[in-house]
Amino acid sequence: MALPDSQPVGGRRVLCRMCGQPLRDRASRLWGLGPDCRHKLSLRTAPEPPRHEVDQDVLPGL
C-alpha cells in the first residue's frame, strides 16, 4: 500500500535539518530540507565570477 505524500515515512515524522519543521512532500524528505530552506540555500551560493581574458606570453618552443 503506497503512502500519500502528506504522511511521514515509516510512521515517524521527518524534520527539516535546517529549521526543524515537519517535511510533508517526497522531495523534501529525500533532501532532508523543506522547500523554503532549499530556496534559502540556493540563494546563498556564490555567483560565478565574470570571465575575462588574460594576456599571456607565448610559450617558448611552440
Question: Per residue in 21-61, pLDDT tens?
Answer: 999 999 899 889 999 998 888 766 667 778 888 888 888 88
Contact residues for 29 (Cβ-Cβ < 8 A; gap 6+) = 8, 9, 14, 23
- 14 belongs to a structural domain: yes
Is the pLDDT reported for residue 3 higher than 50? no
Any domain includes 13: yes
The reply to whether 19 falls in a domain is yes
Residue 17 within any structural domain of the chain: yes
Confidence band, pLDDT 50/70/90 cuts, at residue 11: low
Classify residue 59: in a domain, yes or no.
no
In total, how many domains does the chain have?
1
Q: Which domain holds residue 34?
A: 9-39
- 3-state DSSP: the chain helix, strand, coil percent, rounded to 5? 30, 5, 65
Structural domain contains residue 55: no
